Amino acid sequence: MALLAGKIDMNSAKEHLRSAVLTLQQARIPSASLDARLLLEHVLGLSREQLLFVLENPLSATQAERYRLLIEQRAGRCPVAKLIGQREFWGMNFGVSSATLDPRPDSETLIESVLERITDRRAPLKLLDMGTGSGCLILSLLSELPNAQGTAVDICPQALEVATRNAATLGLASRAQFVYSDWGAQISGCFDVIVSNPPYIPTADIAELEPEVSKFEPKQALDGGADGLECYRAIMAWLPLALAPGGFAAFEIGMGQQRGLEEIVAQQGFAVVASKADLGGITRCLVVQRKE
Ligand code: GLN
């Protein structure tokens, strides 16, 4: 019995879960119950349904210790996705790391905007994603457009590794090409659809964000310069060269950035032709085309 006690933590999974929820609530994590459950599922390698069947069982000492460590990190505001190394987007699982922005539901607005404008989903379109991070935008689009080819750039090699791995896991590697590039510098050719969710937080605002973002997301993926619009300027300066005739670009924007982006695109002879709000009613995506 003494031997066994060394290996098994006699508290049931349910008791561990309960005390984890309490720890997270004390740390003022709004999604305490959900996060505690997700992390327990991760430690045990179980789905939500499977977890229900083992709630009365004890955890092994290793499992209990791993769980305790994860809960401690979550209480320190590390996002769940960063702890479990993945995040769901557009119904698919994307690997993430400290080098990539966690895909967010808001960005699904951009996927919807693009798909709404494509009349023939079987067309052999050429897609480009500027600042791909985990690859969530380009890979979601490729999953919906079976004959499209995607190119995605990023300036962070570690992010490109994550995106390349995601393409392979999702069975999309043969249609996706990942390129190390400072925006368009290493890219030639023309694209039918260009998408980007560039860094758009004004530098001075980053420290004010939730600690999950300001402390754990890569600064390079957030920082949009003094007014938050610097990356759009860089992309738009190059876009006229790269967008095929009749093509369009779709950008994710931050709250209140519509007017600013409209001015930037107008300077390049482009116009905003559509916009789409996220589920919270905030305009998240602008579609731009050459002025007629
Ligand atoms: N394109 C990726 C996304 O939408 C990364 C964006 C970024 O790093 N700013 O999540």
Question: Residue 106 and residue 251: Cα distance in Å, rounded?
Answer: 12
63 lines ligand 1 (CB under 6 A): no
The terminus-to-terminus CA distance of the chain in angstroms comes to: 81
- Residues 195, 185, 182, 189, CA torsion sign: positive
The full length of the chain comes to 292
Token pair, residue 118, equals: 């494509």
* Per-residue model confidence (pLDDT) at position 5: 47
Could you state, in chain order, the average pLDDT of each consecutive group of 10 residues for the chain (292 residues)?
A: 54 96 97 98 96 94 96 98 97 98 97 97 98 98 98 98 98 98 95 98 97 97 98 96 96 96 97 95 96 84
Cα torsion 25, 27, 31, 34: sign: negative
Q: How confident is the model at residue 2, as a pLDDT? A: 43
Phi first, then psi: give them for residue 192, nearest 5 degrees: -80, -35
d(CA 68, CA 28) in angstroms, rounded, equals 17
CA of 61 to the centre of ligand 1 (A): 38
- Reported as type and span, the H/E element at residue 87 is strand 86-89
Burial of 187 (0-12, 13-18, 19+ CB in 10 A): middle
Is residue 60 within 8 Å of residue 54, measured between CB atoms?
Answer: no
Give me the torsion for CA of 235, 241, 243, 244, rounded to 10°: 180
Q: Is 137 in the pocket of ligand 1 (CB under 6 A)?
A: yes
According to the model, what pLDDT value does residue 45 have? Answer: 97
Cβ proximity of 94 and 166 under 8 Å: yes
Q: Is 132 in the pocket of ligand 1 (CB under 6 A)?
A: yes
Ligand 1, pocket-test mutation among 128, 194, 197, 232, most atoms within 8 A of CB:
197
Alpha carbon of 231 to ligand 1 centroid (Å):
12
Q: Which amino acid is at 199?
A: P
Q: Convert the pLDDT of each residue in 24-68 to its tens digit.
A: 999 999 999 999 999 999 999 999 999 999 999 999 999 999 999
Looking at residue 9, its pLDDT comes to 64
Tokens (6 digits) for 158: 């570690």
Instruction: Look up the pTM and report it.
Output: 0.93
DSSP-derived pairing of the beta strands 270-277 and 176-180:
unpaired
pLDDT of amino acid 8: 62
Minimum CA distance residue for ligand 1 atom 10:
103
| pLDDT computed for residue 7 by the predictor | 59
Say yes or no: CB of residue 107 within 6 Å of ligand 1. Answer: yes
CA of 101 to the centre of ligand 1 (A): 6
